[in-house]
Amino acid sequence: MVFYTLKYIEQNQNTSKTILYVLIAIAALAMIAFTVLYLRHRFNTRYRDLGIIALLFLLLFVGTQYEKYVQTNLVKSQSEQIVPFIKSVAKDYDVPESDVLVNSTNLQDGLIVRLDSKNIDYQLELNDDNNSYMLKQAHVINHEVNVKN
């Protein structure tokens, strides 16, 4: 079973988008270059066609980037909900925040919470609006734990 610490959750909220930005820049530069070549040689339609292809690639990459942006915001909002939860559990059970481990990066019903210093597992029960919770002691079958810091 994989458990995550608060440090891991806070550090992995940002994702790298460098490769997609480079592809967008290359497609934009290609489109500009083919547009200039087409305007210089109006009778050669090859440059116009290549410019249109570069524009389509640019639109594809921008659309992909927008979709990733929407997904990243959704995941980020869900993972931002778990940070106050971990801090609340640490405060309620009087343990350091680093000792509270969870088996998901999203706040959801049925989440397993492990208090590492006490070696006790709890199962999370959330109310409908995710503003209050109840922890019931749980017993996991597989006690082998992989902790991601």
How high is the pLDDT of residue 91?
92
pLDDT of 17 higher than 70? no
How high is the pLDDT of residue 16?
55
The angle, 0 to 180 degrees and rounded to 10, between the axes of the packed helices 18-40 and 45-92 is 160
Please tell me the distance from the alpha carbon of residue 54 to that of residue 23, in angstroms, as a whole number. 11
Domains of the chain, residue spans: 2-148
Token pair listed for 115? 């208090």
Q: What digits encode the pLDDT tens for the residues 116-137?
A: 878 889 999 988 887 888 999 9
Q: Between 95 and 116, name the one with better pLDDT.
A: 95
Token pair listed for 20? 């997609």
Q: Which residue has the tokens 């959750």?
A: 9
> What b/e readout covers 65-92, taking b as 16+ CB neighbours within 10 angstroms?
eeeeeeeeeeeeeebeebeebbeebbee
Q: What digits encode the pLDDT tens for the residues 31-75?
A: 888 888 888 887 778 888 888 898 898 888 888 888 888 887 777
Quick one: what percent of the chain has pLDDT higher than 90? 17
Quick one: what percent of the chain has pLDDT higher than 70? 95
